[in-house]
Amino acid sequence: MENNYSTRKRIQHRRHFLKGAGVTLALPIMESLVSADDSSENAAEQANPKKRPLKRMVILSNAFGMYPSAFFPEKAGADYRMPELLKPLERYRQEMTVFSNLDHGLNLGHAGTPTLLNGIESKNARFHPDGNISVDQRAAEWLKATNRFPSLQTSVRGAKNSLSWTRNAVNLHGIGCKALYDKLFLDLGEQGRAQQDQRYEQEASILDVVLDQAKSVHRKMGKNDQRKLEDYLNSVRGLEKRFAQESQWLHKNKPRTQLPVPPMKFENIGDEYDVHMELLALALQTDSTRIITTDLGMQPGDLDLSLTYHAYSHHGELPELVEGLIAIEKFQMQWVARFLDRLKETEDPLNGGTLLDHTMVLFGCGMATGHHSNRNLPTFLAGGGFKHGEHKAYPANKENKVPLCNLLLTMLQNFGIETDRFGTSTGTFTGLEQA
């Protein structure tokens, strides 16, 4: 963390202001919800007549994993000692589960980072029934246009971890604070909406032409070219679906907020993390989305460190580099803990209880450490209605490995999706009963 006292006070003051600003509820953006003038109890009842909790999913990830000895507890079970990197989350030990020895069985180095949420390289997507769709996009497919944004991909400090993949192997990139704010709260006005309507029509016409032309040449191609063209056409069809979903929400007002418009660029890392985490919480609170994937990053000079995040991750066990890496990773965990604070202190407008009660927050990385290992990925899960409070250590040997996709499958089932497989899963994740 930063040592400058005045900087810390400025960040704390800004956080207090943001929490006080809150949202002026034009809350229920869902067709099934009543107007914002009705009570939250009535809104929740109409949105969810069977009283089954409506779940949310948030994935937070960095680029280079975590320093293992400072992340993984030594002892399994409930009576474990929080290691240094998890100490910021001590107050959530009864509402989170830490996992050891979960991974995807891959050996890809940095190329493994984008496989966190599916366990499948994009080049191998065609060999799997659902391609390399990531767990967040599988959930978004199921929700369809229930919310204004089926999912959101965001990025802090310019991180590009490339975690979200559609069924057609299209990678969805994250957006920063300003773009996220505009998505959530900036209304186009009547003229802007009319122009967007026109763009949707033009884009739909272009896609129709592309599909027609593709059909005429498909028969003349060899098998390999036909497969490549089919992959391309699937991507086009995915765009059609996205345009159709977006157009349904175009003429519905967005929530209003007193939150100040963020700058295009933050000089201070604490300010950017603070505003970004506040926006993520507001996206859930206003039901603008129920699925968020966020890449956590750093920039040179952050935390008064002289090297890049990547350079510290290749520490070679040099004490000064390890110290810098742990400072970065501990900072990230402090802000994950503050995000959980924000969810826990906010009433769930759909279910009652708190947002944390019904939001699965997964932290992980597709690369275990900066020296290119993809084994024993640093992973923990908080909230979401699970029975938590343990460090679950699974076998490290290849014969008895539990795939990380088993945990992702469990999250999909908790979300409400009736499926018995996901990615490279081998079955339902055991030992993580719902509370």
Contact between 69 and 329 (Cβ < 8 Å):
no
Q: How does residue 191 score in pLDDT terms, banded at 50, 70 and 90?
A: confident
Each residue's pLDDT tens digit, 278-330: 999 999 999 999 999 999 999 999 999 999 999 999 999 999 999 999 999 99
The span from the CA of 176 to the CA of 297, in Å, is: 11
What's the pLDDT band for 31 if we cut at 50, 70, 90? very low
pLDDT at 134 (0 to 100):
97
For the chain, the structural domain boundaries read 5-187+254-415, 188-252
- The arithmetic mean of pLDDT across residues 353-376, rounded, is 93
Is 5-187+254-415 a domain of CATH 1.10.1420?
no
Minimum mean pLDDT among 6-10, 56-60, 114-118: which range? 6-10
How far is Cα 174 from Cα 90, in angstroms, rounded to an integer?
29
Which SS3 state, helix, strand or coil, does residue 432 take?
coil
Query: What six digits make up the tokens of 212?
Result: 């027609």
- Higher per-residue pLDDT: 247 or 55: 55
Q: What is the pTM of this model?
A: 0.83
| Residue 308, token pair as written in the block | 């890049």
Query: What are 226's two structure tokens?
Result: 């036909």
| Greatest distance between any 2 Cα atoms in the chain | 70
Residue 363's pLDDT band (boundaries 50, 70, 90)?
A: very high
pLDDT over threshold 50, residue 11: no
d(CA 201, CA 252) in angstroms, rounded, equals 18
- In order, the DSSP letters of 152-195 are EEEEETT-----EE-TTSPEEPPB-HHHHHHHHH---HHHHHHH
Q: What is the pLDDT of residues 85-129, one digit of tens each?
A: 999 999 999 999 999 999 999 999 999 999 999 999 988 988 898
At a CB cut-off of 8 Å and minimum separation 6, what does 165 contact? Answer: 114, 117, 118, 122, 125, 131, 132, 133, 134, 137, 171, 172
Order of all β-strands in the sheet with 379-383: 152-156, 291-296, 56-61, 359-364, 379-383, 96-100, 391-393
Average pLDDT across the chain, whole number: 84
pLDDT value of residue 32: 36
**Which residue has tokens 């006292």?**
5
